[in-house]
Structures are given as structure tokens and as C-alpha cells.
Amino acid sequence: MAWYSMRAVVEYLAPDALEDIKVFAEWDPHSGAAIRATGVLQFNAGKTATFDVGYTAGAAVMELTVAGTSGILTQDDFVLDWQSGFVFDNPDIQTGFIHRSGLATRNDFAFIETPSERSQHALMIDNFADLIRNGDAAEREIWLSATEKTQVFLDAIWQEIQTQTRASPAMTPQVNMRENP
């Protein structure tokens, strides 16, 4: 889940450098695993991104919201393919996003449909295969750079969680391996 969030930051926000970060983590008391994290990332040029990832919500939600000067775009479960995915297969569900601007009620929100003849998974594989077969060096470098930047942001988030845990013994997960094999 965190990977998708950071890849969306790289793709839509296109930041150059991370300037500041604040992350709060929740730990599983039995395993010591990080099970939830919420944070704010501040990038160059005053751009910010927030995220909330975890396994404790009771529902699978992967929403994307992009806010800008002319409005807000929201896509519910942007990682899932409602119409022809591996989790859902319902061709009656419209694919698209909501555009909001100004002071408006839900009735005034615009739903922008983004239909596709192929599933997003097939398109992703096609795109990757095309990049291998036909992509030039510059095109490959764009993809490699985006992937590397995604990983740099994820690493920064994990480092911030680790730094906070080391700085505050109260935040350190208490795991007794004898009681919880």
C-alpha cells in the first residue's frame, strides 16, 4: 500500500527533493511489526503529500486525492480495477475520478469517466513489455528514475519511523518471543 502511495506522489506531484518528514507508526504488540503509519512529507517548492497506510482499518481502501489551485481530484481505490481486475470483475462499475471545485454539494461534483478496453493490469504489462522491446534509453531512464525516487521516499519514511523508535523507548514495540513464538 505504501508503495502505491509514494508512486502516486512521484507521478502526480513530481517533486525533486524531500525537505522534511513526520511519520507516526503503530506497532503490533505481539509481533513487533509496523501495522499502520500516517505521515506528512514536505517537498521542494512548498509541495506536500500526506499518507495513511496500514492494516487496521477493517476495510481495504486505496484512495487518491490530488488538490490543486483549480480543484480537487479524487479516485477511490485507484489501485483496484473494478471492471476487470483480479479482486473485482464487475463491468457495470464505471471507472473514473471525481472533480470538485469551489463551494459545491455532492450533486455538483463532476464524475469524469475513464473507460478502457483493456484491464489496467494488462495495460501495465503491455507498457512494460513495450518499454523493453521498443523503448529508447531516455524513456527507460524516466521509468528507472521514477522507481528509484519512489524507493527513496519509502526509505525516508522507514528511516523516520526507525529514528522515532530509537529516540523514544516508549515507542519501541514490546515483544516477548517466549509468549508469542
Cell numbers linked to 177: 518471543
- pLDDT value of residue 148: 95
User: Per-residue confidence of the chain (181 residues) as pLDDT tens digits?
Assistant: 677 788 889 988 888 899 999 999 998 888 888 899 999 999 998 899 999 988 888 887 888 899 989 999 998 877 777 777 767 778 888 888 999 999 999 999 999 998 888 888 888 899 889 888 887 888 889 989 999 999 999 999 999 998 877 665 555 555 444 444 4
Question: Which residue type is seen at 163?
Answer: T
Tens of pLDDT, residues 143-169:
899 999 999 999 999 999 988 776 655
